[in-house]
Chains A and B, each alone.
Chain A
Amino acid sequence: MSFDEYHRREFRQVGRRVPRPDGVDKVTGRALYGADMTAPGMLWGAILRSPHAHARIRSIDVSEALKLDGVKAIVTGADFGEVEDESIRDIRDNCMARDKVLYDGHAVAALAASDPRVARKALKLIRVEYEVLPHVTELEDAMKPDAPVVQEGRVQETVPPGMSANVTSYCEFGHGDLEAGFAAADHIVEREFRTAATHQGYIEPHACLAAVTADGKADLWCCTQGQYMVRSVCAAIMGMEASQLRVTASEIGGGFGGKTTVFIEPVALMLSKKAGRPVKIVMSREEVFRATGPTVHSRSRIRIGMTRDGRITAAEARLYYSGGAFPCGTVEMGAQAAFACYDLQAVRSQGWNVLTNRPKEAAYRAPGAPVAIYAVESVVDELCQHFGLDPLEVRLKNAARKGTKSSYGPTFPDIGLVATLEAAKAHPHYAAPLGPNQGRGISCGFWFNFGGNTCVTLNINPDGTVSVTEGNPDIGGSRASISLMAAEELGIPYDRVRTIVADTASLGYNDVTDGSRVTFAVGLATIKAARAAIRVMCERAARIWGIDPEAVEWKDGAAVPAGPNAGKFPPMTLAEIAANSFRTGGPIAGHHEVNADGAGVSFGVHICDVEVDPETGATRVLRYTVFQDAGKAVHPDYVEGQMQGGAAQGIGWALNEEYIYGADGRLQNPGFLDYRVPVASDLPPIEPVILEIPNPGHPYGVRGVGETGIVPPLAAVSNAVSRATGVRMTELPLSPPRVLAAIRRSRATDGA
């Protein structure tokens, strides 16, 4: 029996809605986030940013700034040394420009001063001489042969010849005979779609506190999704050994993928090294918008053929993504995800990445998938309308299931899409009546889910309580989930377990909190660490009883003799074994290190009702229901929270949110007033429906749940608006002017 495999079991702890262990700290203001830490002698850092979208830096004169009383150190790109790895070099150059600035907001210099106001004043005294270069901020312009080249020499060999030097990579996935597939269709729809770049919009701006000491050691406190990633990247950029840099993850005020890289941390370290004092940097919201991870903006062309009874015969996607001024691989994930929901005989998806003078893209919840699946699900909906078919029935007819060869290669094991679609079909929402100017949209969604490198240490304390040490920041309640799984496996109450997040010096390497991996992979490692501790505890009981360790098993939180031949002894509880541990061989612990595989793909289905005001083009979401397969919901409240939060972000993406660049190449809306994320009064209650189709690759059947929820809303909302207005929408966001223009165009055509 493999420990990794799922076996049906009755849960005693897992599945309970327990209070989270960090709850009291977070409702009393005691929890310490990125900007909340201080150090003796601390300086305040500030960063000077480019006002130009594209310019060569001719010179930087810091002499006047250095003269200002209180200014202790200034750094520019020239202070940072060579880095071998290309992806880390890109991160370095994104943190601080070298010879060229590549987007509005790109950092060009930074300083540290005794007071934040002195720092801000000093920034104005730095003189930068720019040679302004032609810029390109829109993907379609950047693909033209005569477009300004954002970065020379970045084109990969995969790109077909003859394209602009801004097209840096090409990918292709699929199988089957497309031509024959389209020939078998009764109708083919081909459409082009556009989506704007959006920002993760975490409420906590990036913040860090760096302290480099004279002996070359350094400590770094920061809000991040992965302290080990911060250590690896910063150590490489600083030319340090990883062991000399200890990174502590603060509580994190949202990330959604945007805190899976670094922006200010190497700058703070360099300033601290130069000044010989701790340096704190806190970004402003404007800096967050101008210089940190928006998602891609995209253009796509989708072609799908269908028989009149609703079977998809062939499907093709061409995806063009721009992740800003540095090459990015997000389009590959989009191309792989595009048709993952369907069981297709003939399918092809192609992707191209395009450079533009915009900030470097950072991951955003299911990166690449939402915009690809939005376009695909829009065309599927249009085909359903064409044939007068029920959109859920059509999806059921074509749904990927166990044994389906997925469009991106692997053959699916047990997956939850059909069950999720059936649940949506049976839900009262799907049958509820609609009024005038109202429409109902549905969409499927998919995410791969990751596992990855994970370490967990589990200590049995002498008083019979348990401490779990893990290495992934708790971004949405994971400490509670991990404690629940430890308690489940050990057979003890939840409140006897406390889970803490370690710094990089206290535990081995852990991948970042991404890919919906934590509850799956850290949970897996926690269960195995608990089993390791159980083995030790059984040995200790055997020693006390004077029987063979193999003759002891673990049951309901206690060691018991395995069968009548082992001898007659009353159960020895975890607490009793722990209390005797100093006399039976010393402290008891279990640990587990793994590169976890078998994460188990995740599917969701969303139903969205909207009403569109035909006079203004404004859309109101009236009702919203999310169906998602969680494998096993370890803490249902926080599973629901992921589903609801993902839906809310997706609704924002569909209706309001967009990066708007002016002709001058500058971001026009770097603030929450003009970049409008959904507020409480914008949204209806979002009803979550959890499905539990166990993941065969996890002992409890757990699947990651963090990302799938943001995938369906784009098409669910757009399909609802399209049906409410009778006009097929093909561009996001569906802001009122855009919807109104589409309605008017349609009326003009109808009238003609």
Chain B
Amino acid sequence: MSRIHVATRINGDATEFLCAPEETLLDALRNRLGLTGSKEGCGTGDCGACSVVLNGRLVCSCLVLAAEAEGAEIETIEGMAEGESLHPLQRAFIDHAALQCGICTPGILIAARELLKRNPAPSDEEVRYWLAGNLCRCTGYDKIVRAVQAAAAEMREG
């Protein structure tokens, strides 16, 4: 089977890999690069567990071909903390118990960070609609919304 060579930048690091033409970006991240923080919940773009940022755009990495990463800037959950310093959203999710099993958490954190970049002071309803593409089956979303708002408030002050 033929392979495609891809040169890309992931969480700021120059990265190269070979992939099959039909391979998804999610599969390449997880199976070729060992970045298993992005999760596959559905493979059809319905659950958001694989959310990453591709050239500044929030995408489901299961719906992006790995070959499309050529020359791109990709941000995944593995790049969200700076060393030992957690992002305010990451801290807020722990402090507000906004995760139970945690499988949806990486995708929700990535999506929430993109929301706060665009809208630093969202209403609860705006948070709920922005995160409508990220399924969580454990929490009922209540503590997630609170955690996002707490992080947003901290980031506005900071």
| A positions within 8 Å CB-CB of B | 17, 19-20, 22-24, 26-33, 35-36, 116-117, 200-205, 251-256, 282, 284-285, 475-477, 637-638, 640-641, 644-645, 647-649, 671-673, 677-683, 685-686
Contact = CB atoms under 8 A, between A and B. Distances in A.
Interface in B131-148: 131-145
A24 B76 contact: no
A476 B138 contact: yes
Interface in B51-86: 76-78, 80-81, 86
A680 B39 contact: no
10 contacts: A19-B94, A28-B77, A33-B39, A35-B40, A36-B30, A116-B27, A201-B137, A645-B137, A645-B139, A680-B141
A597 to B, nearest CB: 28
B15 interface: no
Given A23-B94, A27-B109, 12 more contacts: A17-B97, A20-B94, A24-B86, A24-B94, A29-B76, A116-B31, A203-B101, A638-B97, A672-B44, A673-B46, A683-B142, A685-B145
B95 A19 contact: yes
Contact of B142 (A204, A205, A644, A681): A644
Q: Which 5 A-B pairs have the closest CB atoms?
A: A29-B37, A253-B103, A648-B140, A26-B102, A637-B97
B99 interface: yes
Contacts of A33: 36, 39, 103
B40 A680 contact: no
Q: Which of B42, B101, B104, B124 has the most CB of A within 10 A?
A: B101
A27 B90 contact: yes
Interface residues of B, number: 61
Contacts of B44: 285, 671-673
A31 B38 CA distance: 11
Given A24-B94, A683-B141, A202 B101 contact: yes
A253 B36 CA distance: 13
Contacts of B25: none
B4 interface: no
A117 B140 contact: no
B49 A203 contact: yes
Contacts of A647: 140
B43 interface: yes
B22 interface: yes
Contacts of B81: 28
B46 A28 contact: no
Given A30-B37, A672-B44, A680-B144, A477 B100 contact: yes
Interface in B102-155: 102-106, 109, 124-125, 127-129, 131-145
B10 interface: no
A672 B47 contact: yes
Contacts, number: 183
Nearest to B46: A672
A253 B39 contact: yes
B139 A641 contact: yes
Nearest to A648: B140
A285 to B, nearest CB: 4
B52 to A, nearest CB: 11
A648 B140 CA distance: 5
A686 B136 CA distance: 14
Given A27-B94, A644-B139, A253 B78 contact: no
Interface string B7-30: 000000000000010110001001
Given A671-B46, A681-B129, A641 B40 contact: no
Interface of B is mostly: loop
B33 to A, nearest CB: 12
Contacts of B109: 27
A117 B20 contact: yes
A285 B43 contact: yes
Contacts of A30: 37
Nearest to A672: B46
Contacts of B36: 29, 32-33, 35-36
B112 to A, nearest CB: 11
Contacts of A640: 97, 143
Contacts of A677: 135, 137
Given A648-B140, A680-B145, A28 B128 contact: no
A285 B140 contact: no
B142 A27 contact: no
Nearest to B90: A27
A508 B77 CA distance: 36
Nearest to B36: A36
Contacts of B20: 117
Given A253-B102, A475-B101, A672 B42 contact: yes
A94 B84 CA distance: 46
Q: Which of A33, A36, A203 has the most CB of B within 10 A?
A: A203
Contact of A117 (B22, B43, B131, B139): B22
A205 B40 contact: yes
Contact of B38 (A29, A679, A681, A685): A29
A604 to B, nearest CB: 14
B141 to A, nearest CB: 4
B41 A476 contact: no
A645 B97 CA distance: 12
Interface string B88-100: 0010011111011
Given A117-B22, A679-B135, A26 B41 contact: no
Q: Which of A205, A253, A475 has the most CB of B within 10 A?
A: A253
B142 A686 contact: yes
B132 A680 contact: yes
A284 B43 contact: yes
B128 A681 contact: yes
B100 A205 contact: no
A677 B136 CA distance: 9
Contacts of B77: 28-29
A285 B41 contact: yes
B142 A685 contact: yes
B140 A204 contact: no
A681 B109 CA distance: 17
Contacts of B137: 200-203, 254, 256, 645, 649, 677
A256 B103 CA distance: 14
A676 to B, nearest CB: 10
Given A254-B138, A672-B44, A641 B97 contact: yes
A205 B40 CA distance: 8
B73 to A, nearest CB: 18
A154 B58 CA distance: 52
A637 B74 CA distance: 34
Contact of B97 (A32, A251, A477, A679): A477
A680 B99 contact: no
Contact of B106 (A29, A200, A205, A682): A29
A645 B125 CA distance: 19
Nearest to A679: B132
A20 B97 contact: yes
A24 B37 CA distance: 12
Contact of A251 (B94, B102, B106, B131): B102
B141 A648 contact: yes
A205 B41 CA distance: 6
